[in-house]
Structure 1
Amino acid sequence: MKEKAGVIVKTRICFLMIILAFSPLFMNVTLAESDPSEPSLASEAAIMIDAETGDVLYEKNAGASMYPASLTKIATAIYVIETANLDDTVTVSGNARQAEGSSVFLEEDEQVALEKLVQGLLINSGNDAGVAIAEHVGGSVEQFVSDMNGYLQNKIGVQDTHFENPHGLFDSDHVTTAQDLATITEYAIRNETFRDIFGTVELEWDGKSWDTTLLTHHKLMREMPYEGVNGGKTGFVSQSGHTLATTAKRDDLNLIVITLNTNLQEEVYQDTINLLDYGFANFKQSVIEEGTTFAAGNEEYEATETLTYTQKLDEQVSEEVSDDGLLKLTNQDGQVISSFKLEDADQETSEKSAENDVKGDSLLGSNSLRIVIPFVVVTIGILIIVCRWRRKQRQEKRIFM
């Protein structure tokens, strides 16, 4: 018994020592997750949004005009994916071959599938791929860029972006904002083809003059992986500084982070990490269920679908509905965190009543059939029995005669 007691005591002591040894790690995790303060960034401009709701969770100079460098290629890629045939074969021009900066080392007259060029554009940031794409899809770089600018404004809805080329090499008129880049990225990742390429870490590349394995330039996807990061694009020219676009998902929270213009590459990554830490530790998604009603004066409005919004974990949210059915969600500081257009509940009720009347008529007809059909079946059955009985009677009569 003493030996058994001694073993139990030693086991408990060992268990206690293990807990004490690892307790600093647990304490650090707890402190990091509970820190509600917004991070201080080196980036000149930055934004973090919820990719599903579009809600802005952090911003710094998000509307300022900035040089995007190779983040331009996000726009080029989604435009091509949605408007061109990715199965096309592209013949590389001498102009594309001579593009400055990062490349996938295309050769003049080399023939490459358009989809492969988009992969080289996003994964390896190939400027030569960007020019080859533009010349094939638009007929010329100038026409391609003009068409792409129209697409960004009319299809995606950004208004403060104007591009002069498909790759992001410096031009004083080649500008955008952190807000617009977040909006473009939010739109782009809804496309499965774009999402797959954007999240590719490595790809075998078989070129005319270059056989290699392309590796994403985004370090949070490869060299210094961050939990949940599933896509990204890097950028740099001296006039823009370091730029970075990153997507990451944990549980129900899907974040997009744009950081623009730092002097050092380490700074743009640290800013992105700090924003992702802040986002995942302090925000959650909330929902208003379909069918929820709200009163506004003498009117009643209804959510005709499930409404999703993003809020801080400790945030108190108030609901206010205007006379025209606009639902505003505000926090305790009076800031509007999200808004939705509701439907008139009376109109919805009338439409549902009309639908029910139609369904009722249909059901009435169905019930009538349910009554008539068995009656007809029984009647036919009786007639068959009577006919057979009468036939039998006639046959018996003939026998006795």
Structure 2
Amino acid sequence: MKKFVSVIIVFLLLSSNQLTTFAARNGQLDLKSKGAVLLDSDTGAVLYAKNADKKMYPASLTKIATAIYAIEKGNLNSMVTVSANAVRQDGTRVYLDEGEKVSLKQLIQGMLVNSGNDAAVAIAEHIDGSVEQFSVNLNAYLKSTIGVHHTHFINPNGLFDKNHFTTAMDMGLITNYAIKNPVFAEIFGTKVLKWKGKSWKTTILTHHRMLKGELAYPGVTGGKTGYTSEAKQTLSTTAANSKIRLTAVVLNSVQQRDKYDDTARLFDYGFKNFQHGTLVQGQIFKLANKEYFPATNTLITESVKGSTRVLNNEGVLLIKNNSNGHVLQLVPLKYKEPAPEKIFVKSESAVKKGEKDKHLTHVNAIYGVMIIALAGIIVGVRKKFIRKF
């Protein structure tokens, strides 16, 4: 009996470290998170969405936006002087000291890998002088550079404020944009970070349990966790196999385990059902009497069960999933200008020759009239001469 109980206990312990996955029923995944989105990391195609445009709180997923903005605007080798305001931040920290000097890159590493709220504020103050100005500039950057429209951040770390919000779709777009930067991608995928600060020397492990391997999932390449009591559990994760790269974001999960199980379900669905195709440069798509074409070879995402390509009136090609009719991707095409009608234009020599011919015709006509008149005179004189003799 004891042996049987021991086996059960071991089984339960092992199963607690296995991600739970379920197949989609009627195209719907059994997700516990209130908001979720699955994107193709390369094409941006939307493969799955749940309340994707509903405003929710991101918690520390905010730091993804802070990181890519700081990487693109700042000098990674510049030294940041830590303020008292940064040191006073609540929640997870990297235990900075007031007046401590740390490189911008190290602060970004501490912010993403250990979710340091103090590091995030130190970054904001270094980049734009204050948290307030940083937030204004960050929001403008997210809108103009990345193209999000339902996000408003008022701090760099995601500590709760009712006016600090985003959506699953916006966070997916932000993550997709950020991972194309090699510096960000390297830090986002860091599992172990040796930290050497003024008062804290340690080895930091990523908080992301799938990336760390605690909840193993093949192909995970990066991730960021988040939690506040108001936002609940949030997670952004990237993964890849030999055919496709995926980005998954889940928001507002009640239990920590739920966000990992939901992310695994999203990845299972994406890897099983989608693949890449290519629109060949110059390939013609017709609508009525108009023709459109891709200017370059263009990567697209298609369902493994088949996709339909539909051209709309604006010259945008819609890639539709044959299974459910959902639009996966929008591809703007170039309009092919119709060939101009051929108009025959005489050369200069031809024009001169024509004018010369016209002149000769005119002269010949005069000569003809004169000859006819002379002939008439001769005939008249001859008749008169005959009568006389």
TM-score when normalising by structure 2: 0.78
Partners of 2:320 and 2:267 in 1: how far apart?
A: 23
Conserved 8 A contact 1:318-1:330: yes
Q: Which amino acid aligns with 2:147?
A: G
Residue 34 of structure 2: aligned partner: 44
Q: Which amino acid aligns with 1:300?
A: E
Partners of 2:321 and 2:40 in 1: how far apart?
A: 17
Query: 1:34, CA displacement in angstroms?
Result: 10
Deviations 1:324-353 (A, max 9, x none): 533223344543332322223346x89xxx
Residue 362 of structure 1: aligned partner: none
Q: Which amino acid aligns with 1:183?
A: L
Q: Which moved more, 1:319-328 or 1:163-172?
A: 319-328
Name stretches of at least 5 consecutive residues in structure 2 with no aligned partner.
1-20, 341-389
Conserved 8 A contact 1:290-1:303: yes
Partners of 1:42 and 1:62 in 2: how far apart?
A: 14
**Residue 282 of structure 2 is aligned with which of 291, 296, 302?**
291
Deviations 1:223-272 (A, max 9, x none): 22311110100000000111000001111311000011111101111111
Q: Which amino acid aligns with 1:121?
A: M
Aligned 1:200-239 pairs, distance under 5 A: 200-222=190-212, 223-239=214-230
Conserved 8 A contact 1:124-1:215: yes
- The number of residue pairs the alignment matches comes to 318
Residue 345 of structure 1: aligned partner: 336
Is residue 2:240 matched to residue 1:249? yes
**CA-atom RMSD in angstroms:** 2.0
Distance 1:281 1:334, change over 3 A: closer
Q: Which amino acid aligns with 2:191?
A: V
**Residue 274 of structure 1 is aligned with which of 244, 254, 265?**
265
Is residue 2:157 matched to residue 1:167? yes
SS of structure 1 residue aligned to 2:140 = helix
Q: Which moved more, 1:256-265 or 1:31-40?
A: 31-40
Conserved 8 A contact 2:63-2:157: yes
Q: Which moved more, 1:155-164 or 1:32-41?
A: 32-41
SS of structure 1 residue aligned to 2:137 = helix
Q: Which moved more, 1:239-248 or 1:277-286?
A: 277-286
Query: 1:277, CA displacement in angstroms?
Result: 1.1
Q: Which moved more, 1:33-42 or 1:77-86?
A: 33-42
Q: Which moved more, 1:177-186 or 1:336-345?
A: 336-345
Partners of 2:263 and 2:327 in 1: how far apart?
A: 25
Partners of 2:314 and 2:23 in 1: how far apart?
A: 40
Conserved 8 A contact 1:202-1:215: yes
Residue 127 of structure 2: aligned partner: 137
Name stretches of at least 5 consecutive residues in structure 1 with no aligned partner.
1-30, 351-401
Is residue 2:308 matched to residue 1:308? no
Residue 89 of structure 2: aligned partner: 99
Is residue 2:77 matched to residue 1:110? no
Distance 1:224 1:322, change over 3 A: closer
Residue 398 of structure 1: aligned partner: none
Partners of 1:249 and 1:228 in 2: how far apart?
A: 5
Question: Relative contact order (alpha carbons < 8 A, sep ≥ 6): 1 or 2 greater?
Answer: 2
Query: 1:138, CA displacement in angstroms?
Result: 1.2
Distance 1:322 1:234, change over 3 A: closer
TM-score when normalising by structure 1: 0.75
Task: Report percent identity of matched pairs.
Answer: 47
Q: Which moved more, 1:273-282 or 1:290-299?
A: 290-299
Partners of 2:90 and 2:242 in 1: how far apart?
A: 41
Conserved 8 A contact 1:38-1:278: no
Conserved 8 A contact 1:288-1:306: yes
**Residue 179 of structure 1 is aligned with which of 169, 184, 205?**
169
Is residue 2:59 matched to residue 1:69? yes
SS of structure 1 residue aligned to 2:71 = helix
Q: Which amino acid aligns with 1:311?
A: E
Query: 1:93, CA displacement in angstroms?
Result: 1.1
Deviations 1:102-157 (A, max 9, x none): 00011111111111000000000000001111111111111111111111111111
Q: Which amino acid aligns with 1:173?
A: N
Distance 1:40 1:90, change over 3 A: same
Distance 1:258 1:324, change over 3 A: closer
More helix by share: 1
Conserved 8 A contact 1:34-1:282: no
Q: Which amino acid aligns with 2:41?
A: A
Partners of 1:322 and 1:273 in 2: how far apart?
A: 35
Q: Which amino acid aligns with 1:320?
A: V
Conserved 8 A contact 1:236-1:242: yes
Q: Which amino acid aligns with 1:139?
A: G
Partners of 2:228 and 2:172 in 1: how far apart?
A: 20
